Amino acid sequence: MSNPPLTSPLLDMPLLPPFDQLQPQQVEPAITALIDQCDRVLDTGLKNPGWDSTLAPLEQAQDQLNRAFSPVSHLNSVLSGPWREPYEAALAKVTGYWTELGQNRDLYGVYQQLAQSPEFAGWPQARRKAVELGLRDFVLSGVGLEGEARDKFAANSRRLAELSSQFANNVLDATNAWTWHTEDAAELAGLPQTALAAARAAAEAKGRDGWLITLDGPAYLAVMTHADNRALRRQVHTAFVSRASDTGPNGGEYDNSAVMEEILALRAEQAQLLGMANYAELSLASKMAHDNDKVLEFLNDLAARAKPAAEREFAELQNFARDELGLDELQPWDIAWAAEKLKQERYAISQEELRPYFPYDRVLAGLFTVVEKLFEVSVQRDESVPTWHPDVQYFWLSRNGERIAGFYLDPFAREKKRGGAWMDSVCVRRQTPDGLQLPVAYLVCNFSSPAADNMPSLLTHYEVTTLFHEFGHGLHHMLTQIDVAAVSGINGVAWDAVELPSQFLENWCWEPQAIALISGHYESGAPLPQALLDKMLAARNFQSAMFAVRQLEFALFDFRLHCREQGASAAKIQQLLDEVRAQVAVVPVAEENRFQHGFSHIFAGGYAAGYYSYKWAEVLSADAFSLFEEQGIFDADTGRKFLHAILEQGGSRDALELFTEFRGREPEIDALLRHSGIEQLELNINPG
């Protein structure tokens, strides 16, 4: 392949990627050149070991590589199509580079030498922590392995990256492969206007009349929650829960069975090569909870105490469905629909009734006001910044008139965009030879788009909390004051603490003072009526125990799956999931359900043997918020304290130490139980 042109924007990336100039064909030559540059910098640095002579120049070269790969990876997630092939080629190269670097004994020796030097104790905290975490990560990357074991570990690492990408591709392709079309409005009875408008727009985009139902999140949830057509609910449910599997309408076409089997086998082998019993043990080596038994005890104890409440909730739903809806037996495709009817009867409120009061633009402006009050930052849109899609907006964060960070916001669902919501890094805050590099983030959601008839995007309250959640991650990345890349922002933060800021910020979605800022009728601007607000707050913990055991089902399945000494066949994976469901689940499961085949968190994301982190961090976030409940939800001193102790510190200090500094004590579970409506449960398992 010829050398990349010197003008390739990926080779000398500015702070903000020039998305209007990026082309798929630029990717592979640029990534190759930047990896070669990293290798040359390392070779030079090893001749004169030291922080300033080795690690700082290497950080600079790796930052250039990361900032080139970031938009490529991102475009593959939000546009797919022409970016998939160049992304996968680049991923293979980047994975190979990091794998080889993790086993570089000469560089490992530099880290050891620095850690043992007399002056190390007097170094800035962030530098010391970066070296300590580096030493840990070298060991976890197989630096101590010899010969065949060393080669095997490296080959496995490269293959795991390929498989994770393949898993995600299969889920996306399976999601896009299925649609359901009708020109008979009667078949869509019960669907709210927002969902009908989206379905009509989806049909028009394909050049068809009528309505088109897809498996995108908003469309799927609308049908399952509101469609009175039971046969339609069953069809959509079956298609969704069987995605990327051996069954369902596209059974075998995008099947992740073999992908899962190989991922689990390789993970188990990686752990054993490092002398560990299983992959869960390897995963916990970099988390707050260092012990498999402690995690299982935490999850099992919570499940045992939550399940009786969940069973009561489900029995209520069954009785209601039988007596009021004429359903003698609740099927999986009836659950959300019946639950919505019960919620309406009990609280006279629905997410659809709230939607008109949560127009996207109003919610966004209110979110910015909340953050400004808490952390003394302001947010301004910059329309001059090029983006990858017309829906995407770019914003700067400023404090005292000075820009301190930025973020892209891609809010709406569309074809070929990965489902779900996430935050990712464009670049990290770090000190460069030319000055301070500001942190920049991607924030991605999948809300319903504005309708063609000028109706704005109207959010459910659940979607409002999703936006706050991702912005919490973004603040963790953007408000850091650390300037060493390895521990800046979310880098170096224990994975089971990384959800603390995101879950923490969700709390403001339930506070009347904050709701007044994020709501207002999309036509009149009228505030959310007090009666509706009261109903919304009263319904907050509706079926909360059922939701809790569902999350615990995912967490226990993930953790037990990775506690196995060996991998597992697709049949064994299903068997384990069935066992976990027998232990904690209360709702029926469709025969075609292959949830595991679409569980991207653990097979294509960073949550393998780590899904428990959501519950673990929920203890931290609820306890942290309880201080605001005591002092006032917009108390400036408490906001400043959270900013300084948690958001600004990144991974420069241990998560438990930072939490204790903020709260004045170690975490307690009482606040979580109170927020969940199950405060009478007394758990004796606490993170830390």
Burial of residue 315 (number of CB atoms within 10 Å: 0-12, 13-18, 19+): exposed
Burial of residue 529 (number of CB atoms within 10 Å: 0-12, 13-18, 19+): exposed
Whether 262 is catalytic: no
**Interatomic CA distance for residues 184 and 95, integer angstroms:** 50
Contact between 216 and 175 under an 8 Å Cβ cutoff? The reply is yes
Phi and psi torsions of 567, nearest 5° = -70, -165
Catalytic annotation, pick one of 59, 470, 506, 592: 470
How far is it between the farthest Cα atoms of the chain? 79
Tell me the pairing of strands 393-399 and 378-381. Answer: antiparallel
Contact between 460 and 354 under an 8 Å Cβ cutoff? The reply is yes
C-alpha closest to that of 545 among 500, 589, 502, 587: 587
**AA identity, residue 5:** P
Q: Which residues pair with 381 in a beta bridge?
A: 395
**Interatomic CA distance for residues 86 and 23, integer angstroms:** 10
Give the CA distances from residue 476 to residues 38, 99, 176, 424, 506, in Å, rounded to whole numbers and listed in that order.
28, 27, 33, 11, 14
DSSP H or E segment with residue 573: helix 570-584
CB count, 10 Å around CB of 129? 22
DSSP string, 143-165: TT--HHHHHHHHHHHHHHHHHHH
Contact between 367 and 468 under an 8 Å Cβ cutoff? The reply is yes
SS3 state at 594: coil
Contact between 557 and 401 under an 8 Å Cβ cutoff? The reply is no
Q: Which residues are catalytic?
A: 470
